[in-house]
Amino acid sequence: MKKKVTVAFFTLLTMTGNVFSQSSVDSLSAQILTPTAPLSPRINGAKVFGVRSGSPVFYTVAATGVRPMTFSASGLPDGLSLDAKTGIITGSISKKGTFPVVLKAKNAKGIAIRNFKIIVGETIALTPPMGWNSWNAYAGQVSADKVKRAADAMVNSGLINYGWSYVNIDDYWENNHTKTKDPKLQGDFRDAEGNIIPNGRFPDMKGLADYIHSKGLKAGLYSSPGVLTCGECAGSWQHEMQDAASFANWGFDFLKYDWCSYTKIASDSTQGVPMLSKDKTLDSIARVYPYDLMGKALRAQKRDIVFSLCQYGKADVWKWGAKVNGTYWRISGDLVDAWDKAELGTSTHKTVSDVGFNMEKCSPYSNPGHYNDPDMLVIGTVGWGKPRPTRLTPDEQYAHISLWCLLSAPLMLGCDLEKLDTFTLNLITNDEVIDIDQDPLAVSAIWVASHDSLEVFKKPLEDGSIAVGLFNRGINKAVITANWNDLGIAGKQTVRDVWRQKDLMVATNSYQAEVAPHGVVLLRLIPKK
Ligand code: GAL
């Protein structure tokens, strides 16, 4: 299915002189592109939901439109109910199988109907998780208060109505004796029974998870297989099952598990675990081991917990992440808000370009429930504890979001949700762009052609159409041509500009667009009957 087409038939023209455009697509700029959502109801977000039998179901129907809104559903399997006011589906299902459901949302302006599928089986997160993580905004300054305010902001900004749902606490909810003198973080790592003790900024973990759930959102947490996390807080070493049980009892729905100091353990022959090695096969065994352990511990819990592997792509994690119960796996080091390497000097951090355009090797491993993770989105107010606006230009941000959606990447915002500006909010509330990410096939973009700094990616979608990203990584405007031959399609296609949500034309063999430097034109090609 994943076919790489050579560039032989592909026409790409780099612009150097006067503007030359055969399309009606203007280059993207600082402008707001996403049209305002209608006042009438529109159901957004995932079209399919996976749950294990017996696990608690918690799913908020995402819908834009004026409130009050009334929700209903037909075809809900036994054991589930829908709250007509909030649109939250809860309960649990004992029978395995696929349950087609019709969701309805009604307000004073009209009614929306959408087909939805609940699949009860072994796989959860059947579309890439969407949400927020505390690290890029707060790093070591995170607190329960800030997390609650992030949850409030996810609702008040309307993000929840587009399917944004996870509110995830990264490092620094645990105690820490080395990296900070904050008295609130100086407590014991564990109690007499070995249970992990949250730090003083997180006085009530269950209360916090309940609060997040009360908003219709899901709650996430972070740990490490080492003695210490990357920030030198308490890790889960030798307490894996016990920690998984604590996380589940508190009511968390997500765990990011970060390799960090585990190198020490896997390099010490007295620890009784597979050792890191120069031999590739042995090394891989050592790297899989701690994730397999936690994967099994999470699976043993009576709730569904998304498992996010963070070990920077070592030992080709994309080849085994799913086997250890992973939902998604980071494929490289930490992403920062830079377009390419040249902007970073000697830093070893990763950029949007060097991660996003180098995912071909792991693309074949993306499927419903399993995703490659190029890391959190670096838009909005980031700064890792020292707030500042992203350094990415608007065009780079459009390219970043488009690429992550084409890659079926998890969409985790890393910005301060209380400081969402109009541009950023517009960027992350385009239902048609999000639909590309959330497409139930979960295919990760297939590289179709490249020439100099111009790239074309395609992503087959469930309805038989394809999403196409025309990317210009260069510093001059460029005209990029999408040829049907290269894209593996034929005949008349309606060409839709996805960001502007506008049909542009019906084309037969190719489509050509001018693309801004470091920018994108994101298209959907819909076969015309
Ligand atoms: C890094 C990880 C970051 C963040 C940080 C916390 O290893 O890649 O995303 O979680 O640790 O200390």
Domains and CATH numbers, the chain: 15-30+445-527 (2.60.40.1180), 42-120 (2.60.40.10), 130-437 (3.20.20.70)
Higher pLDDT residue, 88 or 30?
A: 88
Question: What is residue 473's predicted lDDT score, i.e. its pLDDT?
Answer: 97
pLDDT at 50 over 80: yes
396 lines ligand 1 (CB under 6 A): no
Question: What is residue 30's predicted lDDT score, i.e. its pLDDT?
Answer: 58
Q: Closest residue (by CA) to atom 4 of ligand 1?
A: 135
> pLDDT above 90 covers what percent of the chain?
92
Q: Where does the pLDDT of residue 19 fall: very low under 50, low under 70, confident under 90, or very high at 90 and above?
A: very low
The tokens 């959408």 sit on which residue? 114
Catalytic residue among 334, 375, 416, 497: 334
The pLDDT of 457-469, averaged and rounded, is 98
The pLDDT of 335-347, averaged and rounded, is 93
Please state, rounded to an integer, the average pLDDT across all residues of the chain.
Answer: 94
Specify the pTM.
Answer: 0.94
Q: Count H helices, E strands: the chain?
A: 11, 28
- Mutate which of 138, 170, 174 for ligand 1? The one with the most ligand atoms within 8 Å of its CB, which is 170
Q: Closest residue (by CA) to atom 11 of ligand 1?
A: 230
The pLDDT of 32-44, averaged and rounded, is 97
Query: Cis bond leading into 68, ω under 30°?
Result: yes
pLDDT at 63 over 80: yes
Question: What is residue 21's predicted lDDT score, i.e. its pLDDT?
Answer: 31
What 8-state DSSP symbol labels residue 274?
Answer: P
CA dihedral 222→226→228→229, nearest 10 degrees, is -30
> For residue range 430-443, what is the model confidence (pLDDT) as tens digits?
999 999 999 999 99
pLDDT at 422 over 90: yes
Question: What is residue 29's predicted lDDT score, i.e. its pLDDT?
Answer: 45
Question: What is residue 278's predicted lDDT score, i.e. its pLDDT?
Answer: 97
| Nearest atom within ligand 1 for CA of residue 259 | 7
| Nearest atom within ligand 1 for CA of residue 230 | 12
* Annotation marks residue 283 as catalytic: no
Question: What is residue 452's predicted lDDT score, i.e. its pLDDT?
Answer: 85
Angle between helices 240-250 and 205-214 (to 10 degrees): 50
Copy the structure tokens of residue 23: 């399309």
* Annotation marks residue 334 as catalytic: yes
- Measured in angstroms, how far is the CA atom of residue 59 from the centroid of ligand 1? 28
DSSP-based three-state secondary structure for 275: coil
Question: What is residue 449's predicted lDDT score, i.e. its pLDDT?
Answer: 86
- Mutate which of 133, 135, 261 for ligand 1? The one with the most ligand atoms within 8 Å of its CB, which is 135
Distance CA 459, CA 382 (A): 29
Question: What is residue 470's predicted lDDT score, i.e. its pLDDT?
Answer: 98
The pLDDT of 164-168, averaged and rounded, is 98
- Measured in angstroms, how far is the CA atom of residue 334 from the centroid of ligand 1? 7
